Amino acid sequence: MVATESSGVAVRCAGTIGVVASVAMNLAFLAMYINRHYFGKRRSDNGSDSSTEITAVEPSKGKPPVTQDSVVNLDQGDPALYKEFWDGTGDRATIVIPVWQTMSYFSDLSGFCWFVEPGFEREVRRLHRLVGNAITDGYHLLVGTGSTQLFQAALYALSPTENGTPMNVVSLAPYYSSYPSVTNFLYSGLYRWDGDTNTFTGDKCIELVCSPNNPDGGIRKAVIKSKSAKTIHDFAYYWPQYTPIIEAAAHDIMLFTVSKCTGHAGTRLGWALVKDTEVAQKMIKFMELNTIGVSKDSQLRAAKILKVVCDDYELSPIGKVNHLFHFAQRKMAERWSRLRAVVATSGIFSLPDELSSYCMFAKENVTANPPFAWLRCHKDGVEDFEGFLREHKIITRGGTKFGVDERVVRVSMLDTDEAFNVFIGRVASLK
C-alpha cells in the first residue's frame, strides 16, 4: 500500500505539471525514492533499510497481533477496526509538519480560546454540519487531550467554589466505568462521585448523560428534572456508524472525541461544544492549569483527517458507500450480525435488544451498532462472568465496574478483525 500511495503522488504529479512520458523512468525512480524517503521502508522490502530521514522515528504498533491461541483483550475500546479504512485512503490525510511551524504556545489569540487551532475548529464545525449530530452555531468550541480531560474541565466549571461542599456527580447505571475514578482520584473538594442517578435523592448535582451509552448502547436523556441539576452530555459514540442520528443535539455541554469518530485514539484529541460563555471560560482555565493547552500537532493532524472525511462526502457524494461512516457502519453491522447469531444459538448468553430508527444522516431506517457488546451470561454457576471469560482467554470488563451485577460484561466491538474472529469462535464454543 505504501508503494501505491507514493506512486499515486507521482501519477498526480505528472497530471498536474505535465511531465511527459519520456521521463517516466526517472519519475519511477524518484517515486521510489520519495516512497522510501517520506514513508520509510517498503513493507514488502526485505533488504536493508535505505535512507529514511523523515521517518527515522519508528512509530509504535499498538497492541500485539492476536493468534488462535492467544489471549484476546477486548477490555479497552481500542478502535483498531478503522485502520483498514485509512489504509485505503493513500496520502490524502497524511500530515507533514515542518520543524519551524507551530512552535508557539498560542494558536489564535484573537479567537475565543487561545489554544484551539483555527483549522481544527473549522473542520469540526464542518463535520457536525455534515453529520447533523449536533448544533454548533452559538456554541464555543474547546479542544482537550481526549474528551476525558474536557470531562474534568466541565466538572471544574460546573462546580461552585464558594459553598465548601462538593457537587454530587451522578449517572444512570450502567454508567461508563471511568466516571467514578476520574471524578474522585484527586479527592477534589469541588465535586465527588455519588453513583447511580436512580439512587440520588438531592436536587443539586451534575448528571452525566452518555448517549449512546457506554457500556450498553442505550439512548439516554437526562433524568433529573431539578433546576439545580446541571448536565454533561458525553457524545463520544453519537456518530452514524454506531447509532441512527435522530436529532441535532443542542445541550449545554457536549463532549466528542476523535478516537471513536475516526479511530485515531493515539492522537488523544477531544472537543467540547459549550453554550454558556462563563462555563466555557472556566473550562479554558482548567485546561490552562492542567496542561497549558493541547498538542497542536494532534490538532493539525485531526484537522487534516476530519477534512478528508468531509471532503469525501461533500465532493464525492456518489461514492458515499465507501466513505468513513458508511465503511464503519457496514463493518459494525457485520460484526453485530455475527455476534447476535452466535449469542442466539448459545442458549446461555443474551444481548440488549436491537434498536433501530430513522437516521437523518443516512436518510433511511438503520439499526444501531453499539461500540461495545453488553453481554449477559445466564449459565448456572457462573457468577463472575468476567472471570469465566478470562479462563477462556477473553479479557472483558465486568459489570460491577459499571455499577451493576457481575453476570454481565462489556466487550469492545472495535478491535481488529483477527481479535474479533477469535472472540466469536470462542464464544461459539461455550455452552
Site residues (CB under 8 A) for a second copy, limited to 81-140: 82-83, 86-87, 89, 91-109, 117-120, 123
Whose Cβ is closer to a second copy: residue 209's or residue 309's?
309
The angle at the Cα of 410, spanning 387 to 270, to the nearest 5 degrees, equals 135
In the complex, minimum distance from the CB of residue 388 to a second copy, in angstroms, rounded to a whole number = 24
Whose Cβ is closer to a second copy: residue 82's or residue 385's?
82
Whose Cβ is closer to a second copy: residue 97's or residue 341's?
97
- In DSSP terms, 130 is beta-bridged to none
In the complex, minimum distance from the CB of residue 54 to a second copy, in angstroms, rounded to a whole number = 5
- List binders of a second copy among 29-48 (CB under 8 A): 29-30, 32-34, 37-39
Closest CA to 127 of 252, 265, 309, 268: 309
Would you say 80 and 415 are in contact if contact means Cβ atoms under 8 Å apart?
A: yes
Find the part of the chain contacting a second copy (CB under 8 A) among 62-70, 195-203, 367-375, 381-389.
62-70
3-state secondary structure of 424: helix
In the complex, minimum distance from the CB of residue 253 to a second copy, in angstroms, rounded to a whole number = 18
- When asked if residue 195 is in the footprint of a second copy (CB under 8 A), the reply is no
Work out which of 230, 301, 376, 401 binds a second copy, going by CB under 8 A. Answer: 301
User: What letter would DSSP give residue 55?
Assistant: G
Work out which of 45, 297, 417, 418 binds a second copy, going by CB under 8 A. Answer: 297
- When asked if residue 293 is in the footprint of a second copy (CB under 8 A), the reply is yes
The angle at the Cα of 7, spanning 263 to 299, to the nearest 5 degrees, equals 30
Whose Cβ is closer to a second copy: residue 23's or residue 344's?
23
In the complex, minimum distance from the CB of residue 101 to a second copy, in angstroms, rounded to a whole number = 5
SS (H, E, C) 3-48: HHHHHHHHHHHHHHHCCCHHHHHHHHHHHHHHHHHHHCCCCCCCCC
Whose Cβ is closer to a second copy: residue 13's or residue 382's?
13
Whose Cβ is closer to a second copy: residue 58's or residue 137's?
58
- In DSSP terms, 196 is beta-bridged to 171
Task: Please tell me the distance from the alpha carbon of residue 122 to that of residue 127, in angstroms, as a whole number.
Answer: 9
Whose Cβ is closer to a second copy: residue 65's or residue 347's?
65
In the complex, minimum distance from the CB of residue 151 to a second copy, in angstroms, rounded to a whole number = 10
3-state secondary structure of 348: coil
- List binders of a second copy among 161-190 (CB under 8 A): 161, 178, 181-182, 185-190
Whose Cβ is closer to a second copy: residue 45's or residue 384's?
45
Whose Cβ is closer to a second copy: residue 167's or residue 422's?
167
3-state secondary structure of 345: helix
In the complex, minimum distance from the CB of residue 360 to a second copy, in angstroms, rounded to a whole number = 27
Work out which of 59, 138, 317, 381 binds a second copy, going by CB under 8 A. Answer: 59
- When asked if residue 331 is in the footprint of a second copy (CB under 8 A), the reply is no
- Rounded to the nearest 10°, the torsion over CA 71, 77, 82, 83 is -50
Work out which of 133, 141, 143, 146 binds a second copy, going by CB under 8 A. Answer: 146
Number of residues that bind a second copy (CB under 8 A): 110
- List binders of a second copy among 245-264 (CB under 8 A): 259, 263-264
Distance (Å) of CA 97 to CA 33, 327, 358:
20, 29, 41
In the complex, minimum distance from the CB of residue 155 to a second copy, in angstroms, rounded to a whole number = 9
Task: Please tell me the distance from the alpha carbon of residue 328 to that of residue 306, in angstroms, as a whole number.
Answer: 15
- Rounded to the nearest 10°, the torsion over CA 334, 336, 339, 344 is -110
Binding mask 264-283 for a second copy (x = CB under 8 A): xxxxxx--------------
Work out which of 149, 168, 171, 177 binds a second copy, going by CB under 8 A. Answer: 149
3-state secondary structure of 84: helix
C-alpha cell at 148: 476525558
Task: Please tell me the distance from the alpha carbon of residue 256 to that of residue 273, in angstroms, as a whole number.
Answer: 8
Whose Cβ is closer to a second copy: residue 88's or residue 347's?
88
The 10 Å CB-count burial string (b at 16+, else e) for 85-108 is bbeebbbebbeeeeeeeeeeeebe
Work out whether the CA dihedral 173, 176, 178, 184 comes out positive or negative.
Answer: negative
User: What letter would DSSP give residue 93?
Assistant: T
- List binders of a second copy among 382-401 (CB under 8 A): none
